[in-house]
A and B are shown apart, each in its own frame.
Chain A
Amino acid sequence: MFKYILKRLFISLLTILVLVTIVFILVRLMPGDPFSSDKLTPEIRLNLERYYGFDKPLIIQYITYIKNLLIGDFGYSMKYVNQSVNSIIADSFPYSFDLGMRGLSISISLGIVLGLIAALNRGKSLDYVSIIIAIIGTSVPDFIIGGLLQYFFGIKWGMFPVAQYKGLEYTVLPSIALGFYTLAMVSRLMRASMLEVVQQDYIKTAKSKGISKFRITYKHQIRNAIMPVVTVLGPTVASVLTGTFVIESIFAIPGMGKYYVQSVQNLDYTLILGMTVFYGAFLVIANMIVDILYGMIDPRIRIAGR
């Protein structure tokens, strides 16, 4: 198990390094530069470039950047004067994290429950209701869900605020908009997985022992059916987090997504780099945790990794 974790950790670190490199190169390849729009005198411009180290060869810039990264320094933003990337992330990340966690927990817990209900009532009306919810969920992009929720629950019926993020009632609509797609996906997966498990031979064995239906469902069916759902948690975290980009802009939430999109439009090199690396590292680590978690739940993997 320890060896398995170590191996996962190594791959994750390598992935982050590759990510940093790719992003570094891509950012330098971007057309234009952050100072071009500001009508600066050539002198100031040169000073600025020297300040950010653009006059040095690319490889030196890269090494400097990695060195700073290792001590957790993302550098200074080029557009937000005198703000370090670290402080921008520190200010905005809590919003995104809070929103993301709400979206994620709603979608995973409700998704599993919905899939369960559907599978246990296969072919009955509850099953069809959950299938319809799942199909709608996977067919409607999050910005449309966001827009529709805003229109009906916010503007038309006035039940919830449609912008900002200042309290529980503010979080309801964006969390639903963010989690709906994942909820649908998880419920589909859970349903399919439950229906597959119920056909397995070991369910028949359990039945032959004369234990109750409830115990068979609870101890044998659900436990095995939930495995595939755990494996998609990693990609799910990724899709929920990238979803925050759009949801934050629709609901005017001052999270990282908003800054990210702005930094891309402003060509704020250091901010793009810093945020991408932060996002990427966060996702890579989330993925790793999910993998390790999976290894702990599934006894077959636990042994193989030993």
Chain B
Amino acid sequence: MEKFTDLNYIDIKLFNTVGKNTTQMEAISRPNLTYWKDAWRRIKQNKAAFIGLIIIVIYVFFAVFGPMMNNYDYTAVNSSKMNQFVSSDHWFGTDELGRDLWTRVWRGARVSLTIGFLSTILNTIIGGLVGGISGYYGGTLDLFLMRFIDILYGIPYLIVSILVMVVLGPGMSSLIIAMVIVGWIGTARFVRGEVLRIKEQDFVAAAKVLGVSDMEIIIKHIIPNIMGLIITNLTMAVPRAIFNEAFLSYIGLGISPPECSWGILAKSGIKMLRIYPYQLFIPSFFICTTMLALNLLGDGMRDALDPRLRGTE
């Protein structure tokens, strides 16, 4: 640029008219990303969320293969090896009945994670369908459903699940049913609100004016716009479901022995706390890190999938 500062030395040839530069005038230096590509990039950039994802993957791996890694059965009682501390024989020690804690922790992980994921997925599907239909079609159906949901929403969640558990008896499927019976209501409310919000936006009106069918509007406009929020909601709900399973098992209503879950392990750990604190510390570590990982992942997903946050850093 220096050479142009003295105006007397400018070459006259530079004053040829060349006109517009059509490539430069539309130039946008930032790359063009689709919604999902952008979301994936954000998740990867968010270290905490990525670590959360890795922890979940590792725990799922151990939940599947962990119990097979040694020769103990999670129900096998051994009265000569009660309350043993961590050793090369028993990697996480043994409990008050001499059962191997490594095997029990991963068996518990299998149960707890299955319940956590399955119940939230079912919640999301049922709640999503009800909320979506109610929100999209509106009318009397919507009015009726929403009054119904308003009333149900006020009923304390855990109390109803406790009673349902008593009716159905302990077990994994009862737990899932108990959580879904009350859990879908929150999702339905939330999805309905989102559908209503999107439905009233101008791009949907524009699509309608162009004669796009209801089905296509739902698939092409509504679902892509609320998918991110639903997935985020789902991620955030999994730790809550695991939490509830642990709670129900803790008060003696969830999983019944000899089957075990993280809630059961924590309960027997607290019983032995005064003498053998490791029996609480070890399962607690896994419960807490799972919650932590899911919370971090959920936070990351929220930041990554919220369309309103796109383009900001």
Contact = CB atoms under 8 A, between A and B. Distances in A.
Given A27-B163, A138-B295, A279-B159, A151 B284 contact: no
Contact of A138 (B158, B273, B289, B291): B291
A246 B151 contact: no
Given A12-B154, A141-B243, A245-B251, A151 B277 contact: yes
B295 A139 contact: yes
Given A139-B292, A143-B270, A148 B155 contact: no
B288 A140 contact: yes
Nearest to B283: A144
Contact-size category for B? 35 or more
B246 A155 contact: no
A211 interface: no
A26 B270 contact: no
Nearest to B293: A139
Interface stretch (A15-23, A168-176, A217-225): A15-23
B277 A276 contact: no
Nearest to A17: B151
Q: DSSP class of A's interface residues: helix, strand, loop or mixed?
A: helix
Q: Which of B154, B162, B239 has the most CB of A within 10 A?
A: B154
Nearest to A184: B295
B118 to A, nearest CB: 20
B270 A280 contact: no
Interface string B140-183: 00000000001110111111101110110100000000000000
B156 A242 contact: yes
Contacts of A143: 246-247, 250, 266-267, 270
A34 to B, nearest CB: 12
Nearest to A138: B295
Nearest to B251: A261
Interface string B115-153: 000000000000000000000000000000000001110
Interface in A38-90: none
Given A27-B163, A238-B157, A246-B250, A147 B291 contact: no
A144 B288 contact: yes
Given A11-B150, A139-B295, A29 B266 contact: no
A283 interface: yes
Interface string A235-267: 000100110011001100000000001001101
B277 A23 contact: no
B252 interface: yes
A187 interface: no
A151 B154 contact: no
Given A242-B159, A245-B251, A14 B291 contact: no
B156 A246 contact: no
B266 A26 contact: no
A231 B288 CA distance: 27
Contacts of B252: 261, 265
A141 B280 CA distance: 13
Contacts of B164: 26
Interface string A137-172: 011110110111011000100000000000000000
B261 to A, nearest CB: 12
A112 interface: no
Nearest to B269: A147
B230 interface: no
Contacts of B154: 11-12, 15, 19, 283-284, 287
Nearest to B152: A18
Given A26-B166, A31-B169, A139-B239, 7 more contacts: A26-B160, A30-B167, A139-B291, A143-B247, A144-B280, A264-B162, A279-B159
7 A-B pairs with the lowest CB-CB distances in the bound complex, closest first: A139-B291, A15-B154, A139-B292, A26-B163, A147-B270, A242-B158, A144-B284
Interface of B: 150-152, 154-160, 162-164, 166-167, 169, 239, 243, 246-247, 250-253, 266-267, 269-270, 273-274, 277, 280, 284, 287-289, 291-292, 295-296
Interface of A: 11-12, 14-15, 18-19, 22-23, 26-27, 29-31, 135-136, 138-141, 143-144, 146-148, 150-151, 155, 238, 241-242, 245-246, 249-250, 261, 264-265, 267, 272, 276, 279-280, 283-284, 287
